[in-house]
Chain A
């Protein structure tokens, strides 16, 4: 084998691609990743990680503002935007270096440049060598979706990249789209004192979440003075020197909102261009690559994982698909990813986390359900933390006791949802969950109580 021939080539080194390459190396394959920008992809450089670093600053700032209620003094809390952003970039850089180290440790070859399919078993790299391998994984991710009339300009109309590295702090911000990304930025800017208006086309914020959780989230955001317009759509945009005017139609009425900046967060578009997909005959559907459960495209030897394939567009989904794909190539007969077992988290204040079916979906699917709820108000640790805004909601199949879905809003719920994910993966019923001993005092006791409550047995409420 020469330096350009491999067992596996991965195009794109995001959480899908680099994880696939490492798993391949673990299984004894000679693997290569081609990356044109940064190791770690969007997730590490422009997505999950830097946003969480920013949100941490917002959280500390919020606590400083409430220092008094903890018996502490923090007079005139203030922030230095440049330093907040610099910290976020430093965190991303540290992790990028970490991925580089991991790939090296696993003897994965990293080739810099734009990669492209170039005939059977071949990948051409711009200004570089042509690589060969019997298996090629496309893991090129996605970018911010652009909608006509709201094209980002890098100055007044932002995508997440500008929102993550602002040059100045806007006094007011319009966020178009109330999915996880939109809401996280809305939460960050609002916490630091910006007047934020969220515009959502659907009738509620965080539209993929359980309706009850959506409603609670909206209430919490509005109490923080965030403005939220639902069932609303942007009709036009007028730019001035340092502000924009957005016309919004809601309930048959059109109104104008003025703000210094607009963030467009209306989903992502898969990166399918200039990859040689058409020439190779790879089938696309709705602008993304079509795969089977083992991440195979219609063309033998070509696979696709992560954001370039079907939603949900999440880093952990990309990584899991990378592992499944490689294990299937090795003939290990891995388990297909169950879309309803992929948790989703929003790291706003309060946090939101969920897995499985919403109550409405469960009922529509014909399940006779048992629903349990437990509010943070009834949880000792939440009261000690001073974070009593929250709810844990569980949805069980009444007959089999299967945990169909779990939905949480409140302190640390993004850290806790994995408990329910494990329960679902192991196919536990309510009995094992009731039997599990949860440590006291923890916020996670809410999870236990929400299970008990589904059977009318909650103790502390």
Chain B
């Protein structure tokens, strides 16, 4: 009757393994007749549990609290949020032009493409407020303010400091604020008020030459915009083959809070703002 082979393990070993989430079948027993005892569970706990054997030697880098928080939140996000993805190409030649001119004229600041992306996202969210939202069991929350979180690489992991009320700030203000936050993040000096909250996240890997990617939603937010690199690509303009600097962005959306149409409307508004960038200066 008993189809499964019995695993010989002491009651204490069984309990400790269950507590640690270890599969007894994966352990080798050192007790009499190969019985799994407490010591076996404890030594298994000390080792990382790889799903496949590790080849060669491995260095064990202890997980920091930040690393563990990231792991926990992203796993939860990917496992519990039904993600869908929308991509669109942006023509950024005009934006680059404008940026160039502003930077030549400006004193004391240098605007980045990302500063414009933040501003454009903020304005687009104001236009399509349904994308500035969070899913909860009882209600879908729609935020009054447009607070944009921006992913920044910090020592030991990713952090997302926030530009609050970004729709009300000028690109120059956003740029200055972003610079300060990024510096703080790299120095590991962000305060909770710098990164807690936010209704929408931007993750930009353009500076690393990434063409396009899909980001994992930063819960409890409903949308995250993944920005790729601006690059010259052949384009068809009015039946003519031409060259333009294009940038692909991908919006990851929590389908529970935001439907496909809302996501598409947001991206359309965003695209319009980026491709006609003078509006961003208003």
What residues of chain A have their CB less than 8 Å away from a CB belonging to chain B? 335, 399-402, 426-429, 431-432
- List chain B residues, Cβ under 8 A from A429: 11-12, 15
Closest partner residue, chain A, to B12 (CB atom): A427
Give the residues in chain B near A402, CB-CB below 8 Å.
Answer: 12, 38
CB distance from B47 to the nearest CB of A (A): 19
By secondary structure, the B interface counts as helix
Question: What is the CB-to-nearest-CB distance from B100 to chain A, in angstroms, rounded to a whole number?
Answer: 64
Contact indicator A400/B16 (Cβ below 8 Å)? yes
Kindly state whether residue B32 has any CB partner on chain A within 8 Å.
yes
Contact A431 B32 (CB under 8 A): no
Starting from the known contacts A400-B16, A427-B13, A429-B12, 12 additional A-B residue pairs (CB-CB under 8 Å) come to A335-B32, A400-B15, A400-B19, A402-B38, A426-B11, A427-B10, A427-B11, A427-B38, A428-B10, A429-B15, A431-B11, A432-B11
List, sorted by A's number, 23 A–B pairs whose CB atoms are closer than 8 Å.
Answer: A335-B31, A335-B32, A399-B19, A400-B12, A400-B15, A400-B16, A400-B19, A401-B11, A401-B12, A401-B15, A402-B12, A402-B38, A426-B10, A426-B11, A427-B10, A427-B12, A427-B37, A427-B38, A428-B10, A428-B11, A428-B12, A431-B11, A432-B11
The smallest beta-carbon distance between A15 and chain B, in angstroms, is: 23
CA distance A429 to B32 in the complex (A): 18
Cβ proximity bits B60-101 to A, threshold 8 Å, 1 near / 0 not: 000000000000000000000000000000000000000000
Q: A433's closest neighbor in chain B, by CB?
A: B11
Within 8 A of A (CB), among B4-49: 10-13, 15-16, 19, 31-32, 37-38
Q: How close is B21's CB to chain A, nearest CB, in angstroms?
A: 15
Residues of B within 8 A of A428 (CB): 10-12
Secondary structure type dominating chain A contacts: loop
How distant is A294 from chain B, measured CB to nearest CB, in Å?
A: 15
* Cβ distance B173 to chain A, nearest Cβ, rounded Å: 53
Please indicate the chain A residues that have their CB under 8 angstroms from the CB of B38 in the complex.
402, 427
Whole-angstrom distance between the Cβ of B265 and the nearest chain A Cβ: 53
Complex CA–CA separation, A427 to B37 (angstroms): 7
Q: How far is B10's CA from A426's CA once the two chains are assembled, in angstroms?
A: 6
Name the B residues within 8 Å of A427 (CB-CB): 10-13, 37-38
A335 to B31, CA, bound (A): 8
Chain B residue nearest to A401 (CB atoms) is B15
**Which residues of B lie under 8 Å from residue A401 when comparing CB positions?**
11-12, 15
Complex interface: chain A residues within 8 A of B10 (CB) = 426-428
Contacts of A431 in B (CB 8 A): 11
Chain A residues near B31 (CB, 8 Å)?
335
> Distance in Å from the Cβ of B32 to the closest Cβ of chain A?
7
Least CB distance from B30 to A in Å reads: 9
B13 CB contacts on chain A under 8 angstroms: 427
Measured CB to CB, the nearest residue on chain A to B14 is A429
Instruction: List B contacts of A399 (CB < 8 A).
Output: 19
